[in-house]
A = this chain, B = another copy of it.
Amino acid sequence: MTMNRKLVLPIDRGSPLPIYYQLKEALKQQIESGALKPHERVPSERELEEAYHISRMTARRALEELEAEGYIYRAQGKGSFVAEPKIRQGLLWLTSFTEDMRERGMRAGARVLRAEVVSDERVARKLGIGSGEEFVMLQRLRLADGEPMALETSYLRRRFCPGLEGHDFTDRSLYSTLQEEYGLRLGRAEQAVEAKVADGFEAELLGVKPGAPMLSMERITYLDDGQTPIEYVRSIYRGDRYKLYVELKRR
């Protein structure tokens, strides 16, 4: 194809956003919208260089990042091509239950079981903080499309979010409340995933039989400074409704 419909992508040299980033996002949008189809050729480094009057290294950087994010694949001597739509990554990203369900095409909901101030030595130890500290403990039955999906128990350090226990989290995202009401921005988390079987309490709440397979997750969340622990969560998901999807790369 030499017809080369030019794809007039909006690159703004005055923007505070880097050029390679603007170019990357523009191409990404072209791919996600379907304007560029899987296995279709994407402009080469030198074509981009000429089209936007940028240096090849800048064009290259945009393409490199698109490759790293799985949007395109590249082959020496051949060119760069649109990759097949990948499975959305459930692992790797720190998201709330609400965001997770939306990505899976389901509607998130909750039934608040407990919301109170507690002290808990075990939790304090997990977070590596003094055992005297108080937590806001929030236990919710999480629903997806109205059906039970998971039992989620969060412990938040009260000194960072006093009064949190007074909010109603039936229809409200915990993470957006932390951000908007308390100015707390989350940065990263350490999560452990393991298989369990449902005990009587969990089975009753989640509508499965005792002994049914469950995915159990334990998470420690840190603020965006990367080192201040803010939350400990233990979640148990129905094994028949919940899978994790991961894209793995070779090191």
Contacts and interface: CB of A to CB of B under 8 A. Distances in A.
Contact of A214 (B68, B94, B213, B242): B213
Interface in A113-136: none
Contact of A69 (B186, B243, B251): B251
Contact of A192 (B69, B185, B190, B244): B244
Given A224-B250, A245-B190, A249-B188, A239 B91 contact: no
B248 A194 contact: no
A248 B213 contact: no
A200 interface: no
Contacts of A187: 249-250
A94 B250 contact: yes
Q: How often does this chain occur in the complex, in copies?
A: 2
A87 interface: yes
Interface in A25-73: 39, 67-70, 73
Given A83-B226, A190-B245, A195 B211 contact: no
Contacts of A70: 188
A244 B237 CA distance: 15
A189 interface: yes
A25 to B, nearest CB: 11
Interface string A176-204: 00000000011111111111110000000
Contacts of A9: none
A250 B225 CA distance: 12
Contacts of A106: none
Chain A, interface residues (CB within 8 Å), range: 35 or more
B95 A251 contact: yes
A116 to B, nearest CB: 27
Interface string A75-99: 1000000011011001111110000
Contacts of A91: 92, 193, 246, 248
Contacts of A211: 197, 211
Given A227-B83, A250-B187, A194 B93 contact: no
B188 A244 contact: no
17 contacts: A39-B227, A73-B227, A86-B190, A91-B246, A93-B248, A190-B245, A192-B246, A193-B243, A193-B246, A194-B213, A194-B242, A194-B243, A195-B237, A197-B197, A197-B211, A197-B213, A219-B248
